[in-house]
Amino acid sequence: MDNQSQQNSGTPKDPKDSQLENFRVDHKNTKLTTDQGVKVSNTDDSLKAGERGPTLMEDFHFREKMTHFDHERIPERVVHARGFGAHGYFQVYEPMTELTKAKFLQDPSVKTPVFVRFSTVVGSRGSADTVRDVRGFATKFYTEDGNYDLVANNIPIFFIQDAIKFPDVVHAIKPEPHNEIPQASAAHDTLWDFVVSNTETAHMMMWLLSDRAIPRSFRMMEGFGVNTFRLVNDQGQARFVKFHWKPKLGVHSLTWDEAQKLAGKDPDFHRKDLWEAINMGDYPEYELGIQIVEEKDEFAFDFDILDPTKFWPEEVVPVKLIGKMTLNRNQDNFFAETEQVAFHTGNVVPGIDFSNDPLLQGRLFSYLDTQLLRLGGPNFHEIPINRPVAPVNNNQRDGFHRMSIDKGAVSYSKNSLRSNDPKPDEMNGYQHYMEKVEAQKVRMRSQSFQDHFSQATLFWNSMTPAEKQHIIKAFHFEVGNVKDKQIKQRVVEMFNNVDGELAKEIAKGLGMNPPANPGGTGVTKSSPAVSQENTIKMAQTRKVAVLAENGFTNKEAVEVINALEGANIHVDIVSKNLGMLTGDDGEQLEANKNYATSSEVMYDAVYVVGGQQSVTTLLTHKDAKNFISDAFLHAKPIGATNEGIDLLSEADVQGVAIADMESGSAVFTDMGVVTVRNASDFSAFAQEFIQAISQHRHWMRENIDGKMSG
């Protein structure tokens, strides 16, 4: 269902949607006007003194049109420049009265409107979606108490402990200033010089070089509030809290080879995936979870709960799922919504408060400050996407782009001319938690923040062998692009503090000296929750490429495709040429993709239909063989029926058991490769193939014949 259909379907609009309705204009069946509403007779020719004469300054339409065009672009965000947004709603599961007085967390029947912006951090607006990077996951809740912004990332920690170092880490990771190279990448000298010079980065770099930094989809990505906040209830009792978004589809990633190829073949891969999923009704869902630490337990852990380079292991502090967010409507205008939306960690509502996390404290200034420049002044809250659904009444006036027409002479407090309106609300207004603070002014860091390596070791211990190999190969690529050999050697020595074997493997790939003495922290614990192999796994909403040519066996194609679509798996028919393909029985299927418009990296699995004529043609296509060999390399599910199996053999699918000529109708499944020969009923094959798809990857294939997808 497209956006227009959704809007015209008779479904009741949420409060934010109704409010935005006054600002939506589709311009259908209208006459062209100037910005002042004056009808325009001609917009193709400027006003001239004669047909070939000079343009006249009095051409107000030309000047207005050109001036607006000259000023259409606003400064892109310094970080999180490349983003994509969607609308939806949030519902709490049960009243959270004991923990917080925040109204949007009390009534399960209330749907709170939300707008979510996903983003990469380092790259410019024109960079690719699939680069190795942290992903932003910012949510604006339009609550009856005002806007609440949960500004999250897909990694639960950060590079630095104190916000004063934020300009340093961003300067280091951005393209180097002398040549503006590389774009959207950490694989260069200045970033790794910063890393080895600031060892508090160790834990974050382990996450950044893991599969978490190359997500399969925004729909399959966790979100973390990163910082420590407080929840405050009606009795004034406070508890420390961390926020989590848990995707209902599980947490899944690309391989590095896929990420690199997609950056060239489909740089909009993530935003298209989100847009198409919502248009097809595959609404992304995320559960909101919270971790709670009582104030009396603030110092009960072997890490400081205010240290933003540390996460709270779920095995130590369980995550309580308290509600669900559903994204069910695409943006109407990318600039007006995604580009102009302004998030701020300081946008909180009664019941949510701050902690002394030094990164959070700095963010409370920085987010507001950057919006003032980027959105042209103090009135960016009046842009439709930023307007709260709660009424706004205060004495703020004037400034660039003021939209409110404030009546009356009074714009100050206290006043008698208007009986002190608007009055403070002592009962329901926001009240900061009354934390007692008594200390000397110092520029220092707490001793409890000095452990830079224990949780990096914990993360490493939590990885499966395949995940560890991916991290090692990421080190080889990222640090391998560093030119300064001294920095490379320092990377080896620094990560020897995390794990001695890891450091040896890093050194081997970089051609550096291994550590003189095996290192490590002595930490032997793990946190299974941070391994993606322990996530939810399902086949729903996955994409399968079906390879076929004229002469395919229609019966098996139809049976398998119907089974896939019945499991809410999306299918593309891929052929050398677009258009209709004719099966062995004269029935036709439309090839909606060809090799020029598709690639194996755009799919979660590949299926080869049988039919001697079809497969004989496929065997002559290098692109078809590449589809299979790349899918095998990337540990993806591969299915083939009858003669389709012959393409697997030609495409170098080795080391797995496949159905042979004598296998009858038995379904063979080995390491995610599902095959059947001499079958007339394909239901068993389809179910095995769907099960293989639900597993996402079959990492045991990575080392076959020395192949490693990384």
Q: What residues are labeled active site? A: 80, 153
Distance CA 560, CA 564 (A): 6
Cα 367–chain centre separation: 20
Distance CA 437, CA 317 (A): 26
Residue in 77, 67, 5 with CA at minimum distance from that of residue 35: 67
Amino acid at 455: Q
- For the chain, how many residues are written? 710
Distance CA 643, CA 627 (A): 17
Cα 470–chain centre separation: 20
Cα 650 to Cα 15, 605, 657, distances in angstroms: 58, 18, 15
Residue 544 phi/psi, 5-degree rounding, is -120, 135
Q: Are 373 and 246 in contact (CB under 8 A)?
A: no
Cα 293 to Cα 99, 298, 301, distances in angstroms: 11, 7, 10
How many other β-carbons are positioned within 10 Å of the β-carbon of residue 268?
14
Whether omega before 350 lies within 30 degrees of 0, making that bond cis, reads no
Distance CA 707, CA 705 (A): 5
Angle between helices 500-510 and 465-480 (to 10 degrees): 40
Amino acid at 500: G
How many other β-carbons are positioned within 10 Å of the β-carbon of residue 497?
20
Distance CA 34, CA 633 (A): 57
**H/E/C letters for each residue in 16-27?**
HHHHHHCCCCCC
Place of tokens 């080896």: 492
Distance CA 47, CA 373 (A): 36
Structure tokens at 618: 């496929």
Strand order in the sheet with 638-641: 593-594, 570-575, 543-547, 605-608, 638-641, 673-676, 667-670
